[in-house]
């Protein structure tokens, strides 16, 4: 689940989900609460745009990487 992956990153960068929700609110000029963000992540209803912005807030890039092909 995306929420588990994100929680690991949050620990690495020492940011809480509440702080992330506040930063996301400022970036998108739209209210986000910790509970709202947590629900979106748990229910996997978060948008790609939101994930790109979250990655940027945390100092990461979000990109598609090709899988290794067996030959």
DSSP H stretches of helix in 1-71? 2-13, 17-28, 34-42, 48-57
The CA distances from residue 62 to 31, 59, 65, 70, in Å, are 23, 10, 10, 25
Rounded distance between C-alpha atoms, residue 67 and residue 58, angstroms = 24
In tens digits, the chain (71 residues) has pLDDT values of 788 999 999 999 999 999 999 999 999 999 999 999 999 999 999 999 999 999 999 999 988 889 887 65
Note down the domain range covering 34. Answer: 2-57
In a domain, residue 70? The reply is no
For the entire predicted model, the pTM comes to 0.85
Per the domain annotation, does 63 fall within a domain? no
- Tell me if 20 is assigned to some domain: yes
Number of domain units in the chain: 1
Give the Cβ contact number of residue 32 at 10 Å: 19
């Amino acid at each position: 689940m995306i929420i588990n992956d994100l929680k690991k990153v949050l620990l690495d960068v020492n940011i809480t989900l509440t702080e992330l929700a506040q930063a996301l609110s400022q970036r998108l000029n739209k209210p986000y609460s910790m509970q709202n963000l947590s629900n979106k992540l748990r229910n996997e209803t978060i948008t790609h745009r939101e994930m790109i912005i979250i990655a940027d807030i945390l100092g990461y890039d979000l990109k598609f990487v090709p899988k290794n092909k067996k030959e």
